[in-house]
Structure 1
């Protein structure tokens, strides 16, 4: 099992057990090898506002793209533990342009080998020839969930509005290996501790009603089941395929056009703040020879190193003894089986010889 798998499983275990207060490890402070919690220092600038005047037309915001699937367990954990904490931190949406791209490992199925041709825009979108069909990693319900997420962002482009709904969807939708609450106890599905809210088509309207202030669930659903929704999925496919290197695990995080590594994605807040500081620094006046870069308050509370999960110590001699002991038991079992088979054959032959006599 590689380091990435260990990190994700440990996050899941911490979330289930409640051992770490929600968000404290990833957004409020870092946990070092000794278990002590520490906060990032603030070398980039004071908490007091600093004036800076970038040239007109300069885009100093950090572009953040997160490639996900609507029913991916990892995307669910990442949204709740990392992405959600960054977005909710004070001032972070003022320095970043966030977009979520629901596609992931979905594949486009061409019917009869004929290409899909899109005509029109918005509600007037239609296809010449066969409509596209998709094969999603976690089934047809995930394709529908991806369409819900794409339509919500298209119809309501204000990130303050759509992120609440998408975060609600990703964290409540049943991911792989999870079962709705009403099934987890009554049937033989997942345990209550892994219960979820249902499939995307069930969760999305509820999230819109609860946190999508001003959204029209009926309008979004109409988009999902129309050529417009299919077109948005095709656009997400193109955006995903344009990323280099191509996403090989999810979530896949791209900051200012460059995919980030695993540690940088887990430290998304620090990654965004550092990128923002490097873009703004040239426009900040020097004070005593130093450029004091203004940063949102949230930047002063992100950890500067990923969480460290201590590895369990193993006794190599004990493991060797287990391997040798297991091998001996296996050989003994094969020997007994062979002797029993041989004895059975010999007895059969003696019986046949007596019968012939």
Structure 2
């Protein structure tokens, strides 16, 4: 009888704790931010340097970041591959592919955001791309990125980014184009570009990291 009572208590506590953990996880679900951008676009770089990167470094656990470098570029099929024409010239196409390959090989925002932020804050993102990778993600070789850029993988990644950009609803008509939890509106865009920290914390509603970060 005693064993039965103890087992019942254990099962009850387990069920209660499970519900609490589930509720807490739901309340603290990270904010999904998707950024459609161009590597050499001045407005995109301003947003990344002034809002996205500082906010992410402070609120990493409250955010899921998806970066899609393509923006206003155009693609034309060329046999089995694709040719890309970018708003700010061939250098931007190169930068877009470099960052697409970095995102692919570094796999998660914890690894690739420091590298991308380093590039976008540099006076010449393309010139500093290799050093940014070596400093912030030394486990991935620059040769790996360049092989991706010059090969079929980079072409495939850029085509995927083009498809994601072209499938936006509503369609993008400028960059940076920002989605919060899969939604875009002019109001969300305005708040993201002017006070992303507050927007993330107000959307996150989980407290914790936002409360602590206010004093940083």
Q: TM-score range by the shorter chain?
A: 0.7 to 0.9
After superposition, the CA RMSD in angstroms is 2.4
Q: What secondary structure sits across from 1:54 in the alignment? A: helix
Q: Deviations over 1:100-159 (max 9, x none)?
A: 110000001234xxxxxxxxxxxxxxxxx3411011101111111101111111111131
Structure 2: state its 5+ residue gaps.
Answer: 1-19
Larger proportion of helix: 2
Aligned counterpart in structure 2 of residue 67 of structure 1, from 19, 36, 42 = 36
The 3 A distance-change label for structure 1 pair 298 and 71 is: farther
Structure of higher CA gyration radius? 1
Of structures 1 and 2, the one scoring higher in RCO (CA 8 A, sep 6+) is 2
Q: CA–CA distance in 2 between the matches of 1:227 and 1:273?
A: 40
The 3 A distance-change label for structure 1 pair 298 and 102 is: farther
Structure 1: state its 5+ residue gaps.
Answer: 1-51, 112-128, 173-195, 278-292, 303-357
Q: TM-score, normalised by structure 1?
A: 0.50
Query: Quick check: 1:67–1:253 contact (8 Å CA) kept in 2?
Result: yes
Partner of 1:86: 55
Q: CA–CA distance in 1 between the matches of 2:110 and 2:24?
A: 25
Q: Deviations over 1:47-102 (max 9, x none)?
A: xxxxx52269968222111111011111111111111110111xx11121101110
Q: CA–CA distance in 1 between the matches of 2:181 and 2:197?
A: 14
Query: Quick check: 2:56–2:63 contact (8 Å CA) kept in 1?
Result: no
The 3 A distance-change label for structure 1 pair 98 and 299 is: farther
Query: Quick check: 1:270–1:299 contact (8 Å CA) kept in 2?
Result: no
Q: CA–CA distance in 2 between the matches of 1:301 and 1:56?
A: 21
1:274 matched to 2:194? The reply is: no
The 3 A distance-change label for structure 1 pair 56 and 275 is: closer
Q: TM-score, normalised by structure 2?
A: 0.80
- By how many angstroms is 1:260 displaced? 4.1
- Aligned pairs (5 A) from 1:196-275: 196-197=123-124, 200=126, 202-261=127-186, 262-266=189-193, 267-275=195-203
1:136 matched to 2:86? The reply is: yes
Query: Quick check: 1:269–1:299 contact (8 Å CA) kept in 2?
Result: no
Q: Which runs of 4+ in 1 moved over 3 A?
A: 55-59, 297-300
Aligned counterpart in structure 2 of residue 105 of structure 1, from 50, 69, 72 = 72
State the aligned residue count: 193
Q: CA–CA distance in 2 between the matches of 1:299 and 1:97?
A: 19
Query: Quick check: 2:201–2:210 contact (8 Å CA) kept in 1?
Result: no
